[in-house]
Amino acid sequence: MREIQEFTLDDLRHLVSPRAISGETMVLNMGPQHPSTHGVLRLIVELDGEIVVNVIPDIGYLHTGIEKNMESKTYQKAEVMTDRIDYMYTIGNNLVYTLAVEKLTGLISPPRADAIRVILVELSRLQSHLLWIGTSALDLAAMSVFLYAMREREMVLDIFEMCSGQRMMTTYIRPGGLWRDVPAEFEDAVKALVAIMPKRIDEYESLLTKNPLFLDRTRGIGKIDTKTCLAWDVTGPTLRATGLPFDYRKTNPYCGFEQYDFDIPTQTTGDIYGRYLVRVEEMRQSVRIIEQALNKLPYGPVRDNNRKYVPPPRSEIGVSMESLIHHFKLWTEGFNPPVGSVYTAVESPRGEMGVFLESDGGPKPYRVHYRTPSIMLLQALPQMAIGHFVADLVGIIGSIDIVLGDTDR
């Protein structure tokens, strides 16, 4: 049987203050299994009474070896593993990998595929923020928000299931465009969701925004300023709540985001309440983008025609010899992109998510590295939490919205 590998206070001597070694402060373990650590995160907290003197996060309890596993599969098969990295923004993981492969191979996805990608990605951001508002309010003991938010989330998951057959791990966005076209009921379902969403967001706001208990627990807690954020590479709503209006959808646009009209919400306080307001406003902007994309949805094909990388449609295989050969080669051997390395990044609900992809000309990726936002947010946790009470620590972890699959890969 395996034994738990522990480290003693001696090993952490360089990280804790001298008062811990003399016994004046208490070093406590908020272990991997805890009601509010959002996954398996272990925190070693040094406490002076109830005040936090230092926080040392210990990660690695969900390490899956995805990067090494992807090196032994072809490009198409490796995409299935990318869904499980940030399991709250599953369509975004597929999108960033697909954008990297498209940049490497030179594929171009048609306008209809781009518009549907935008709709699906913004729906995924909406369901991630809905789960965030449910669980972080649950941490601060506001239980009914969780039940309300999960009700809307089911509607979004029904739309994903209608397109691809799976509620969460869809693998719907593939190099060249999409897997296949959306069914006929897609537009009506999205229109129905968009029509009721603004009122539902008003409901969540009426439960939390002016609630005196919520305000007391969140205002002035967990502050961070812009300079520290940039030095520790914290992006996303945490950076926007400090005052810098920075969003990858506006600065380095992808998938046609430049055609849509939306605002970047910012606050200046940099505390938990500011991040909450930024995310609620982002939900409203997502609904606005989905509405615009749905109105402008063009007709046309959904996948690129380059048969060296994209499999041919089923109807063509029966009549054309080249299509049969392409199909055979793509499924048995895979495609061979040119030699080189690329990096692409998208805006996930937590910050910048990027893929560094290096190819050596073979059918399997030579090196895939995911630059995920949660590990940087967790590294900056001591900057936000020192000096507050232990109960506030729980609120701060909830507000930065980490996903442990993202951190450990």
Partner 1 sequence: MGVDQKTGNVGIVTTNLEKMVNWSRTNSMWPMLFGLACCAIEMMGAEAPSYDLSRFGMELMRASPRQSDLMIVAGRVSQKMAPVLRNLYDMMPEPKWVIAMGDCAACGGVFNNYAVLQGVDEIVPVDVYVSGCPPRPEGLINGIVLLHKKVSGEKFAKWK
Partner 2 sequence: MNDRLSPAVNTLQSKFNAQVAEFRDEVTLTFTPDQVVPAATILRDQFGFDVLAVETAVDYCPQTTPRFHMVYIVYSTTQHVYLNFRAGLPAENPTISTLETVYPNANWRERELWDLMGIKFEGHSDLRRILMPPNWEGHPLRKDYPLGYEEVQYTFNFEDIDLRKPKGVRLP
CA nearest to 368, candidates 376, 358, 380, 378: 358
CB of 148 to partner 1, least distance (A): 9
Task: Check residue 67 for interaction with partner 2 (CB under 8 A).
Answer: yes
Helix 75-82 and helix 90-105: axis angle, to 10°?
150
Beta carbon of residue 158, minimum distance to partner 1 (angstroms, whole number): 10
| Binding test (CB under 8 A) with partner 2, winner from 77, 369, 386, 390 | 369
Question: Looking at beta carbons only, is 274 or 354 nearer to partner 2?
Answer: 354
SS3 254: coil
Using CB under 8 A as the criterion, what x/- string covers residues 215-234 for binding partner 2?
---------------xxxx-
Which residue's entry shows tokens 């209608």? 162
How distant is the alpha carbon of residue 55 from its chain centre? Answer: 24
Which residues, 6+ apart, have CB-to-CB distance to 108 below 8 Å? 102, 304
Rounded distance between C-alpha atoms, residue 390 and residue 200, angstroms: 33
Query: Does residue number 356 form part of the binding site for partner 2 (CB under 8 A)?
Result: yes
Q: Are strands 173-174 and 367-371 parallel, antiparallel or unpaired?
A: unpaired
Tell me if 385 contacts partner 2 by CB under 8 A: no
Q: Per CB under 8 A, which region of 158-166, 179-187, 267-275, 367-375 contacts partner 2?
A: 367-375
Q: Containing H/E element for 45?
A: strand 42-48
- In this structure, the chain runs to a length of 409
Taking the chain, what is the end-to-end CA distance rounded to the nearest angstrom? 26
Instruction: Give me the least distance between CB of 28 and partner 2, in Å please.
Output: 20
Q: Given the rule CB under 8 A, which of 11-19, 270-278, 292-300, 309-317 is the region that contacts partner 2?
A: 11-19
- Percentages of the chain per state (helix, strand, coil), in multiples of 5: 50, 10, 40
- Rounded least distance, CB 233 to partner 2, Å: 4
Output 211 or 379, the one with its CB closest to partner 2: 379
By three-state DSSP, how is residue 343 classified?
A: strand
| Residue found by looking up tokens 């925004």 in the block | 209
Contact between 341 and partner 2 by CB under 8 A: the answer reads yes
Q: Which does 354 bind (CB under 5 to 8 A by kind): partner 1, partner 2, none?
A: partner 2
* CA gyration radius, the chain: 23
| Binding residue (CB under 8 A) for partner 2 from 17, 29, 65, 206 | 65
Measured from the CB atom, the residue of 56 and 294 that comes closer to partner 2 is 56
Check binding of 11 to partner 1 (CB under 8 A).
Answer: no
Beta bridge pairs of residue 341: 358
Q: How far apart are CA 293 and CA 186, in angstroms?
A: 13
Q: Is the dihedral of CA 26, 27, 32, 38 positive or negative?
A: positive
The reply to whether 69 sits near partner 1 by the rule CB under 8 A is: yes
375 contributes a contact to partner 2 by CB under 8 A: yes
Pick between residue 104 and residue 142 the one whose CB is nearest to partner 2.
104
In degrees, rounded to 5, the angle at the alpha carbon of residue 47 between the alpha carbons of residues 45 and 48 is 165
Name the helix (H) or strand (E) containing 120: helix 111-139
Single residue of 17, 252, 305, 320 touching partner 2 by CB under 8 A? 252
Site of interaction with partner 2 (CB under 8 A) = 5, 7, 11, 14-15, 59-60, 63, 65, 67-69, 72, 103-104, 230-233, 235, 244, 246, 251-252, 340-343, 345, 352, 354, 356, 358, 366-367, 369, 371, 375-376, 379-380, 408
Site of interaction with partner 1 (CB under 8 A) = 1-5, 31-35, 39-40, 60-66, 68-69, 80-81, 84, 87-88, 131, 135, 146-147, 150-151, 153-154, 157, 167-169, 404-405, 408
